[in-house]
Homo-oligomer: A and B are copies of this chain.
Amino acid sequence: MTQSIYSPTGISRQFDRVREQSVYLCAPLEAEDYAVQPHPDVSPPKWHLGHSTWFFENFILADYATNYLRFDERLNWFFNSYYESQGPRVLRSHRGNMTRPGLSTILDYRAHVDHAMRELLEQEDPEVVRLTELGLHHEQQHQELLLTDIKYILGTNPLYPVYRRRTTPSPAVAAELTFLPVPAGRYAIGHTGQSFCWDNELSHHDVLLLDFAIGSRLITNGEYLRFMEDGGYERFEFWQMEGIAWARELEVKAPQYWYPSEDGWQQYTLDRGLVAVDPHLPVTHIGWYEADAYARWAGARLATEFEWEVACKIFSPDIPQRGNWVERESYHPTVATDPSDHQLLGHVWEWTNSAYLPYPRYPRPDGALGEYNGKFMINQMVLRGGSCATPLRHIRPTYRNFFQPDKRWQFTGIRLAKDV
């Protein structure tokens, strides 16, 4: 990878900030919320707290800290997630059965590791700084999962408890949807420069694009409701065969966390619990199958990840510091009232029509850290742009997120594109 952007004191400050944020995200939970795994994709919150800690102990302290004593050998085994090279693991689907170690033990584990890390960081070893930056990005990824896993735990509970109550936003009207043209040409793709990026954003290379246009904002609940009311979920002509089979088998008829009521569709939100679906808010918690079907119904298509990246660099060249990231604590996408607000960064991850595959000359690293991205490069689709659950300092326009086409528990949404 690359060298760190952090000075020795900078990395210590960032270490404290990121580590505290994980605990802060869990603060509204009750004790039982930490332990369960209501879906195989969802990990218990206490598992995230332990696993992100394990990363620092296993990959940094064990190798670089003199005389470091592990907190408990057994926890190393517990909190390994998928690093095959790191030995046997608790089966992912059994995480929710592991009531022990309990939360208090895990918080002690965090304190133990944080203390040792802070001492180690004082030595200003560049390799430690580099690995620590990696560990913090790893933890930020788990913060996004933590929040979406918490949403699953609370949002499928029939009591629909509020996570963190926020001031209810005033009703707002979404700007008109238009299409922004991008001329054909040869464009650069991927990360450049010395700052941190994941291996999958490399190598920097050029692609050829034809003329296209990209939607000026995200698709709204209201627009998606028209697709639903037009029989969208039943009309095979809009769907991939595998997609409509999925919808039929699981009886999917609406986005995740949408529940029918006598007064129409309701939606579970972290900040307000169960509320009526607001037609001006961006639609979220839909899978690629649905995004692809919606786009065909709308007479459009999804952008490729290359089209998306080029459009982002043109229309949103700067990362909005006050954008809808997790730090804003809205915990939900918000309305684009201004036609110049393209919502390309933040709010929801945007499904593209690109499979998650290696870029040319992709540098798959060796060893355990090499497993990080390179072993998921089949049967997943790329998402771009970050979401309201993503930390601001974690995102880049070149960032490639990826999920299987049926996954819906992340904050995912729809951006249209068109040939012109």
Contacts and interface: CB of A to CB of B under 8 A. Distances in A.
Nearest to A77: B158
A349 B205 CA distance: 29
Given A35-B36, A377-B240, A208 B210 contact: no
A375 B239 contact: yes
Interface in A334-372: 353-355, 357-358, 360-361, 370-371
Interface in A379-397: 379, 381
A96 interface: yes
Contacts of A161: 100
Interface string A21-53: 000000000111111101000000010000000
Contacts of A36: 35-36, 96-97, 99
A115 interface: no
A94 B207 CA distance: 46
B242 A32 contact: no
A109 interface: no
Contact of A100 (B32, B94, B100, B371): B32
Contacts of A355: 355, 357
B85 A237 contact: yes
- Taken together, the copies of this chain in the complex come to 4
Contact of A33 (B77, B99, B159, B376): B99
A32 B102 contact: yes
Contacts of A289: 378
Nearest to A31: B31
Given A97-B153, A159-B100, A360 B239 contact: no
A206 B205 contact: no
Chain B CB within 10 A, most for which of A31, A34, A154, A186: A31
A41 B191 CA distance: 42
Interface string A265-307: 0000000000000000000000011001000000000000000
A82 interface: yes
B30 A32 contact: no
A103 B32 contact: yes
Contacts of A156: 97
Contacts of A62: none
A2 B376 CA distance: 39
Nearest to A241: B375
A157 interface: yes
A215 to B, nearest CB: 18
A158 B32 contact: no
A63 interface: no
Given A210-B360, A236-B85, A360-B210, A242 B98 contact: no
A240 B378 contact: yes
Nearest to A39: B97
A76 to B, nearest CB: 12
A159 B74 contact: yes
B96 A96 contact: yes
A96 B381 CA distance: 32
Contact of A210 (B241, B361, B419): B361
A33 B36 CA distance: 10
B376 A84 contact: no
25 contacts: A31-B32, A32-B35, A32-B99, A32-B103, A33-B99, A35-B35, A84-B236, A84-B237, A84-B241, A98-B157, A98-B158, A99-B157, A186-B208, A205-B208, A205-B210, A208-B208, A237-B371, A240-B377, A240-B378, A241-B371, A241-B375, A241-B376, A242-B378, A355-B355, A379-B379
